[in-house]
């Protein structure tokens, strides 16, 4: 059966506790380096004053998106983007709910406009002067797979490259006990329908049912993968880091997996 969608990966970005970028992560996966002390995500694509004030979710998303776009060499101002997160900025949601419960009139206007799920997409398009379509999506626990399917569909449907970034931060307060997110993790991909200059190829096919996640046996990767919903992408990212041709399944919705055949240009 032929794949429903074929996209080529032109850029990759990643931030994990202990791996400040995609190259750092690749070296750890290849056994060439150990996880390092965590660093603040380097979102140098944002103007300095925005970078200072930006909430963690925006920094994280902009950092990985910046890495992926840099690797792709594409013109960021014309690149449509899809930002995904299961839970958005949980620290801000925790602040909002806490403040609303006690002193609703003291709600910070800056926190409020940073609380919208599309804050990273907004800051990103402003910083990069991008007038193309931008989106902010969620798929709950399946946010990464849902975002991958949507971004690949957009790239193929409109025959143009698309930037996707999927991020989640650690939970805070009573909300954090509901979301069960123990750490921050983010990943970005530039997907294109065209092969030239690509690092890897993905054939994507939706498959009914969820087969669930399997431990890889690598303690660091398995702990990472369990840290938040965006980190469900870890098996895919580890395979990409190893440049292994492989097949895997990731959840895209309740009752729907994405079968991914990962290959590399000859």
Partner 1 sequence: MPHPMSPLAIRAYTATSALGRGLDAHAQALATSRGGLRPNDISSAPLDCWIGRVDGIEDEALPRPFAEWDCRNNRLAWIALQQDGFADAVRDARHRYGASRVAVLLGTSTASIGATEEGYRRLDHGHMPADLHRPALHTPHSLAGFVAAVFDLEGPCLTVATACSSSAKVFANAERMIRLGLIDAAVVGGTDTLCDSVLFGFNSLELVSPTPCRPFDEARDGISIGEAAGFALIERPRENEDAPLLIGYGEASDAHHMSTPHPEGLGAELALRDTLERAGITPADVDYLNLHGTASQKNDEVEAALLTRFFPATTRASSTKGFTGHTLGAAGILEAAITLLAMRDGVVPVNLGADSPDPLCGPQMAWQAEQAELRIALSNSFGFGGNNACLAFARQGVPA
Which residues contribute to the site for partner 1 (CB under 8 A)?
Answer: 4-5, 80, 86-88, 93, 96-98, 100-101, 104-105, 107-109, 112-119, 121-123, 125-126, 128-140, 142-143, 146, 149-150, 153-154, 156-158, 174-175, 177-180, 206, 208, 252-256
**Nearer Cβ to partner 1, position 35 or 173?**
173
Packed helices 234-241 and 22-29: angle between N→C axes, nearest 10 degrees? 80
Which residue matches tokens 């200059």? 197
Q: Report whether 114 contacts 89 (CB < 8 A).
A: yes
- What's the min distance (Å) between Cβ of 68 and partner 1? 18
Q: Report whether 163 contacts 152 (CB < 8 A).
A: no
**Nearer Cβ to partner 1, position 21 or 257?**
257
- What's the min distance (Å) between Cβ of 121 and partner 1? 6
Which conformational region is residue 64 in: left (phi greater than 0), alpha (psi within -120 to 50 degrees), or beta?
Answer: alpha
Q: Report whether 258 contacts 145 (CB < 8 A).
A: yes
**Nearer Cβ to partner 1, position 44 or 180?**
180
**97: Cα separation from own chain's centroid:** 25
**Nearer Cβ to partner 1, position 24 or 80?**
80
Question: Residue 192 pairs with which residues in a beta bridge?
Answer: 8
**Nearer Cβ to partner 1, position 32 or 129?**
129
Question: Residue 83 pairs with which residues in a beta bridge?
Answer: 136, 165
| Token pair in block for residue 228 | 């938040």
- What's the min distance (Å) between Cβ of 224 and partner 1? 21
Q: Of 6, 23, 2, 1, nearest to 14 (Cα)?
A: 23
- What's the min distance (Å) between Cβ of 149 and partner 1? 6
- What's the min distance (Å) between Cβ of 198 and partner 1? 20
**Nearer Cβ to partner 1, position 62 or 121?**
121
Give the whole-angstrom CA distance, residue 200 versus residue 90.
33
- What's the min distance (Å) between Cβ of 115 and partner 1? 7
């Amino acid at each position: 059966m032929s794949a429903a969608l074929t996209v080529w990966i032109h850029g990759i970005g990643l931030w994990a506790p202990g791996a400040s970028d995609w190259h750092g992560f690749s070296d750890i996966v290849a056994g060439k380096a150990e996880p390092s002390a965590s660093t603040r995500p380097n979102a140098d694509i944002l103007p300095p004053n925005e970078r200072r004030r930006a909430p963690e979710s925006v920094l994280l998303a902009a950092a990985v998106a910046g890495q992926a776009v840099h690797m792709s060499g594409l013109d960021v101002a014309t690149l449509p983007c899809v930002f995904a997160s299961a839970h958005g900025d949980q620290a801000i949601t925790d602040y909002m709910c806490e403040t609303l419960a006690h002193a609703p009139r003291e709600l910070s206007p800056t926190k409020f406009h940073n609380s919208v799920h599309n804050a990273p997409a907004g800051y990103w398009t402003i910083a990069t002067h991008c007038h193309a379509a931008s989106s902010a999506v969620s798929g709950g626990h399946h946010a990464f797979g849902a975002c991958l399917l949507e971004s690949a569909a957009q790239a193929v449907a409109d025959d143009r490259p698309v930037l996707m970034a999927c991020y989640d931060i650690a939970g805070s307060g009573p909300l954090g006990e509901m979301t069960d997110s123990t750490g921050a993790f983010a990943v970005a991909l530039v997907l294109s329908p065209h092969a030239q200059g690509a690092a890897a190829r993905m054939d994507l096919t939706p498959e009914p049912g969820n087969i669930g996640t399997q431990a890889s046996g690598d303690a660091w990767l398995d702990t990472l993968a369990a840290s938040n919903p965006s980190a469900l992408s870890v098996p895919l990212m580890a395979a990409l880091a190893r440049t292994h041709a492989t097949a895997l399944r990731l959840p895209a919705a309740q009752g729907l997996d994405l079968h991914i055949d990962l290959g590399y240009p000859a």
